[in-house]
Copies of this chain bind each other. A is one copy, B any other.
Amino acid sequence: MIRNIKVEHLHETPIEKQETELVERKGIGHPDSISDGLAEAVSRALCKEYIDKCGAILHHNTDETQIVAGRSRPEFGGGEVLKPIYTLLVGRATMEFDGMEIPAEAVALQAAREYVRNTIPAMDLERDMIIDCKLGTGSSDLRDVFTRDHVPMANDTSFGVGHAPFSELEQVVYNTERQLLTDLKKKMIPGIGEDIKVMGLRENDDISLTICCGMVGRHIDDMDHYINAKEEMTEYVLDLATKYTDRIVSARINAADKVDGGCDCVFLTVTGTSAEMGDDGSVGRGNRSNGLITPSRPMSMEATSGKNPINHIGKIYNLLSTQMARDVVSAVDEVSDVHIKLLSQIGMPIDQPLVASAQVIPEDGANFAAIRSEAEVVIDDWLENITKITDMVVKGELDTF
């Protein structure tokens, strides 16, 4: 069956040439990102459990997690959580299959605790966080079994959106958070917390980065130490940015700090996340599945994290459209920017979207007819192999936030 693929020539100022551009990334320790991460960790653990016990991934949707902030008393050299963070895992799961009960809530709890332990190492799960769980069953009486015999049917009328390539600012913002955590924290500054928010603004050729980073009290001895850490981080970030752009970059870390006050007047934490003190969080409120919030780009509101990777359009089409966009850019010449939108029809095979729309901003002078036909091939090919997305999700090869 022929797929409804529309490749459109979009006449638009390419993002790099627009005068202003805004990009944000919430780091993995931001309360919204923790929620995303928990939702996805629970879904992955359920996938594994279902495959182990039933030979196939069963229906589930755990794309909701509510984090209720705690209270804390941060201190240089230590500090303590006063009131534990309360986290409620929420969603739907198949609890019974072929007469066998599946320990969905026990699996969810274990996966969530393991995720936090690995992601926020300064969080003491014995006293700093309560993880609660309310998984119900879904609306389907059959609680569909997904088999390999046919392409799954879309669970909903919904859409996914993706774009490529990343602009310079997008690269700078994304990598700033990633590198601070995976490189600088590991090698030099253990006091960097996981709750890093990077806000990037480009005005023509000036990029300014506003970074909020919750520092971890136990690794920061005093205010001098704190100030030094911020200075090193700033230098590191400015240096890092040169890999992605020649534009002029400035960076401010924890701009609201009053360093002549006490530890209350700077962004110090006990655990590395502001969820310890007043910042609630939930799924789908932060980064899109490409890791960024990009108001200048098409975006979907669908939460990608936690949905099942078999037939949940809100997950598959968001991940897929980003993959498609990247492949169009790499496989097709003369494409400046591409935006992909995939719209499903509930109850129809997921490889047959109601429309697969690609809006292409070609480079100046490009042959759009050639672009169209090549892009169609890339898109059709991905749809033909759509279950590859499922496999990549299960294997943990795709980030969702």
User: Complex formed: what's the CA distance from A18 to B136 in Å?
Assistant: 42
Cα separation A88 to B264 with both chains bound (whole Å): 30
Question: Is A178 in the interface zone, CB < 8 Å from B?
Answer: no
Which of B22, B161, B282 lies in contact with A343, CB distance below 8 A? B22
| Cβ contact within 8 Å between B278 and A301 | no
Residues of B within 8 A of A199 (CB): 157-159, 343
How many angstroms between the C-alpha atoms of A88 and B280 in the bound complex? 13
* Chain B contacts for A103, CB-based, 8 A: 73, 80-83, 127
A296 close to chain B: CB less than 8 A:
yes
Contact B84 A105 (CB under 8 A): yes
A347 interfacial by beta-carbon distance below 8 Å: yes
| Chain B residues within 8 Å of A86, by CB | 132, 134
Do the beta carbons of A286 and B301 come within 8 Å of each other? yes
The reply to whether A201 and B347 form a contact with Cβ atoms under 8 Å apart is no
- Identity of the chain B residue whose Cβ is nearest the Cβ of A255 in the assembled complex: B346
Please, which residues of chain B bring their CB within 8 A of the CB of A175? none
For the complex, is A133 an interface residue (Cβ under 8 Å from B)?
Answer: yes
A308 to chain B, nearest CB (A): 13
CB distance from A37 to the nearest CB of B (A): 16
Enumerate chain B residues within 8 angstroms of A66, measured Cβ to Cβ: 64, 66, 88, 90, 282
Q: What residues of B have a CB within 8 angstroms of the CB of A149 in the complex? A: none
Task: Return chain B residues, CB-CB under 8 Å to A104.
Answer: 82
Contact with B along A79-101 (1 / 0, CB 8 A): 01111101010111001000001
Which chain A residues in 121-159 approach chain B with CB under 8 Å?
Answer: 126-128, 130-134, 136-141, 157-159
- Max chain B CB contacts within 10 Å: which of A12, A157, A281? A157
A residues 240-282 touching B (CB-CB < 8 Å): 255-256, 264, 274, 277-282
Select A345's contact among B134, B255, B288, B343, beta carbons within 8 Å.
B255
Which residue of the partner chain B has the closest CB to A303?
A: B285
Instruction: Closest B residue to A96 by CB, please name it.
Output: B82
Q: Is A119 an interface residue (CB 8 A)?
A: no
Asked if A109 is at the interface of the complex by the 8 Å CB criterion, the answer is yes
- Interface of A, secondary structure class, is mixed
Asked if residues A282 and B64 are in contact (CB atoms below 8 Å), the reply is: yes
**A296 touching B295 by the CB < 8 A rule?**
no
CB of A231 within 8 Å of the partner chain: no
How far, in Å, is A22 (CB) from chain B's closest CB? Answer: 6
Most B CB atoms within 10 A — which of A69, A161, A208? A69
Q: Shortest CB–CB separation between residue A119 and chain B, in angstroms?
A: 15
Known: A13-B10, A212-B157, A278-B138. A106 touches B131 (CB 8 A): no
Contact between A130 and B133, CB atoms less than 8 A apart: yes
Closest partner residue, chain B, to A159 (CB atom): B22
The yes or no answer to A110 lying at the interface (CB within 8 A) is yes
- In Å, the complex CA distance between A300 and B280 comes to 19
Are the CB atoms of A355 and B64 closer together than 8 Å?
no
- A91, B86: Cα distance in complex, Å: 12
Does A230 belong to the interface (CB within 8 Å)?
no
A56 to B63, CA, bound (A): 38
Query: In the assembled complex, which residues on chain B have CB atoms less than 8 Å from the CB atom of A330?
Result: none
Q: How far is the CA of A300 from the CA of B288 in the complex (A)?
A: 11
Contact with B along A161-173 (1 / 0, CB 8 A): 1000000000000
Q: Which 5 A-B pairs have the closest CB atoms?
A: A139-B278, A66-B66, A110-B127, A12-B12, A20-B357
User: Could you list 18 examples of A-B contacts with CB < 8 Å?
Assistant: A6-B20, A10-B12, A19-B359, A20-B359, A24-B159, A64-B280, A69-B92, A80-B106, A106-B127, A110-B126, A114-B126, A130-B133, A157-B210, A157-B212, A199-B343, A255-B347, A282-B283, A296-B341
Other 8 A-B pairs with CB < 8 A, given A11-B13, A20-B355:
A8-B18, A66-B66, A80-B106, A84-B109, A136-B278, A139-B274, A157-B255, A161-B295
